[in-house]
Amino acid sequence: MGINLKIFDGRKVLITGGTGSFGRACAKRLLVDTDVEKLIIFSRDEFKQWEMAKSLGNLDSKKRLRFFLGDVRDLSRLTRAFREVDYVIHAAALKQVPAAEYNPTEFIKTNVDGAQNVIGAAADSGVKKVVALSTDKACNPVNLYGATKLCSDKLFVSANGFLSSDETRFAVVRYGNVVGSRGSVIPHFIEQSKTGVLTVTDPRMTRFWITLEQGVDFVLDCFENMIGGEIFVPKLPSVNIMSLARAIAPGCRVEQIGIRPGEKIHEVMISRDDARNTKEYPKIYVICPDNEFIAQRFRALSGDTVDPDFEYNSGTNSYFLGEMELSSILKAHLEYV
């Protein structure tokens, strides 16, 4: 699967949650490397929009960038924003696992009700394609955040079943932890390193890892390759929390503090129950829908069938990043390392 950005030339693209880490990087990629006609950032924080407009101003000589204040909880506002839009990237979500455990209804309103609003607004506005960002925590969820994203994934997949083949198509992209994203452990470790002590929840903990740039390219690539109803999963390396701690602050002492509410030791991106519907390619997996109304679209899909007992687990993954690789990645992708 080679990435073809020409699909965005002359198109109007909207990113929900566009002032977040992903949205900012994706907007920059589209402005620099495509001839997108209009790029709309839909989010609810006017200050972050102002900061983003200022930081990207020198890349927007054609004045293609627009900002639209709104919340995905507001269907009428979404419908207004989606007018004449060709492609939507749905990145808006509440994401912090501990916050979700104590504020479940707020996460449901944004992550579940907001997903349904995006689907309805896109369908009613004639949007051609929607790609929704998911997370490894949506697979076999043990926390409220993961449960809301699983529900969101199901909504986006099933939405393809009630629309005709000529109307809006929806797909989902599921990947792991993003290097240095807001709220991730890396900035936390860097700050703690000043004290000489890092706190680790459990030394066995592993996570799938992807850089922000890789995540952006993967999402954009899915617009070219999507059929409608699938979940795209990239093949990623795993990281052990202790290796990461030593790569960031090799001279610091590490204290174990115990797992937080809603955390797993290892993450899973494809469960054994999804294996029967999963196709493997050199760089990705595709989980095909088992929805009877849309499964027929995928009958002729190429790719290798995975083993019936296959599970894509960060703890049993065949590729782990070592400390030297981690140090190199951190220096290349994080300005504060």
Examine the residue annotation and report whether 48 is marked as an active-site residue of this protein.
no
Tell me which residue of 33, 140, 126 sits closest to 85, measured CA to CA.
Answer: 126
Taking Cα atoms as reference points, which of 84, 80, 65 lies closest to residue 27?
A: 65
Backbone angles phi, psi at 81, to 5 degrees: -70, -30
* Catalytic residue, candidates 12, 95, 129, 137: 137
Catalytic residues: 137
